[in-house]
């Protein structure tokens, strides 16, 4: 498995609390400090990409493999690298999978609020790419992840369910089961 979470110098949420200042954010997202204190983001809503029929790029496949091995820190780093630089709306497919992985990372660490928030954000980003995009079975990932997010929401922060022994995987439409 990869590095132990929490021992890296990087923060999974580097884009929070001022981490965006002075950073090139990519298309559709701009950061600005007002009076040196607050950060304002302008985001474009996720929409389906014409590139969904394209084969997945190698770095995306690497991030998927890391996600499926539950190497959530590593998948975050890999997918962030392609999400930030991608000008096409397919970037939200990358970001959605990244956020689902970060949600599972938070759950593993006992952070109910972070898990629910990131799983929800990831599901929102993935929605336009259903049923499939770039050979990723988005439908299956959304359904399986939504069931776990719903379980977390139903139980609440004071009754955090045990971390599941089997998490949803990112399946490819080209896979045979």
CATH number at residue 99: 1.20.58
Reference 168, options 154, 152, 148; nearest CA is 148
Domain that holds residue 137: 87-161
Q: What is the pLDDT of residue 48?
A: 83
Q: What is the pLDDT of residue 43?
A: 57
CA distance 137 to 143: 10
Q: Whole-prediction pTM value? A: 0.75
Number of independent structural domains in the chain: 1
Listed as ranges, residues in the chain with pLDDT below 70 are: 1-45, 175-177
Quick one: which H or E segment has residue 32?
A: strand 30-34
pLDDT digit string, tens, across residues 143-156: 999 999 999 999 99
107, part of any domain? yes
Distance from the Cα of residue 37 to its chain's centroid: 27
């Amino acid at each position: 498995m990869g590095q132990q979470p929490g021992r890296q110098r990087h923060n999974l949420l580097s884009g929070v609390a001022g981490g965006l200042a002075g950073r090139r954010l990519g298309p559709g997202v701009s950061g600005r400090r007002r009076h040196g204190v607050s950060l304002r983001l302008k985001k474009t809503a996720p929409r389906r990409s014409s590139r969904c029929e394209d084969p997945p790029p190698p770095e995306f496949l690497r991030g998927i493999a890391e996600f499926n091995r539950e190497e959530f820190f590593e998948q975050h780093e890999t997918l962030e690298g392609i999400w930030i630089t991608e000008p096409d709306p397919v970037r939200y497919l990358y970001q959605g999978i990244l956020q689902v992985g970060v949600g599972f990372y938070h759950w593993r660490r006992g952070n109910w609020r972070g898990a629910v928030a990131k799983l929800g954000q990831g599901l929102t980003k993935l929605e336009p790419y259903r049923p499939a995009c770039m050979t990723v079975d988005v439908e299956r990932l959304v359904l399986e992840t939504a069931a776990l997010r719903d379980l977390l929401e139903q139980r609440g922060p004071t009754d955090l369910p045990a971390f599941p022994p089997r998490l949803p995987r990112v399946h490819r439409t080209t896979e045979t089961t």
